[in-house]
Amino acid sequence: MKKLILFITAVFICLSVKAQQLPELETFTLKNGLKIYFLKYGKIEAITVFVVVNSGKKNETPGQQGYNGLVANLVFAG
């Protein structure tokens, strides 16, 4: 009986919850290949910057050796 009540309660909760709408994502690429993503968040006038570097031996090409150590040092530095 407790399982049935719990199940019915869960169904009502799932039916009453509305989906969250995601903001529009703007994407473009600079001439040097850097991808830029803009995601508006309400009317807040703020900016957050993330830099993603594919590093590691798997992603290194000739001429790019050493990026892995650079990224590791930056991660540890905070």
**pLDDT single digits (tens) 3-60:** 778 888 887 777 777 777 777 888 889 898 888 888 877 777 777 777 777 777 777 7
Q: Among 48, 32, 31, 28, which Cα is nearest to 40's? A: 48
Tell if the pTM clears 0.85, that is, is over it: no
The helix or strand, by DSSP H or E, that contains position 38, with its residue range, turns out to be strand 35-39
Res 41: pLDDT = 75
53: its two tokens = 């570097």
d(CA 20, CA 48): 22
